[in-house]
Chains A and B, each alone.
Chain A
Amino acid sequence: GAGVSQTPSNKVTEKGKYVELRCDPISGHTALYWYRQSLGQGPEFLIYFQGTGAADDSGLPNDRFFAVRPEGSVSTLKIQRTERGDSAVYLCASSTQTGGITEAFFGQGTRLTVV
């Protein structure tokens, strides 16, 4: 595809359930980022990958959140025992490298609603 693809676009889940959010980056992009955005706020950093490894996971709020990128392409953000406070738009971005000179391309996001 031409851009970063995130699926599903919307997800409604019950409190306490497990959810997986998928991100397909632009082909060839080695860096991949996850953010979440609450209404009226800027995107909040969660984690970024360089290749298959998590280079910085300092934004993950607690151990209910986990992300993988096993083959250095598609990434999955996993949330266990969801809480109502996890409701937000989850954004994924990718770039060719992680240096300060490159631009990141963002997907449309997955809107997660925990009821």
Chain B
Amino acid sequence: DAKTTQPNSMESNEEEPVHLPCNHSTISGTDYIHWYRQLPSQGPEYVIHGLTSNVNNRMASLAIAEDRKSSTLILHRATLRDAAVYYCILRRTSGTYKYIFGTGTRLKVLA
């Protein structure tokens, strides 16, 4: 299973942008990059996904490196409600489709 590496924790001030990095040097050509977040006492929640091009949605943006060996989740204006553990996951389009979660990045947002 392709693995991802993320920092254990990050801090951000409220209303400022946050860039959460993820390394996935063993990514294969057909792996999608997914991001989920988990708020305290909740199940994980989908944030965004992409393959090669940068992606934007109402929650966040995903910037994917040209060689696809890394990606960055961007929260444009962090709020206190964004405090969560953020997981970067690779998902295949064939074979086994299970999500493999790492330990994620715990984001702390300071008021």
Contact = CB atoms under 8 A, between A and B. Distances in A.
Does A pair with B? yes
A101 B93 CA distance: 7
Interface size class of B (residues with CB under 8 A): 20 to 34
Interface residues of A, number: 28
Mostly, the A contact residues are loop
B44 interface: yes
B81 interface: no
A107 B43 contact: yes
A33 to B, nearest CB: 7
Contact of B43 (A55, A91, A101): A91
B92 A100 contact: yes
B25 interface: no
A24 to B, nearest CB: 14
A100 B32 contact: yes
Contacts of A106: 43-45
B68 interface: no
B91 interface: yes
B58 interface: no
The 8 closest A-B CB pairs, nearest first, are A106-B43, A42-B101, A98-B97, A100-B32, A103-B46, A100-B91, A100-B93, A43-B101
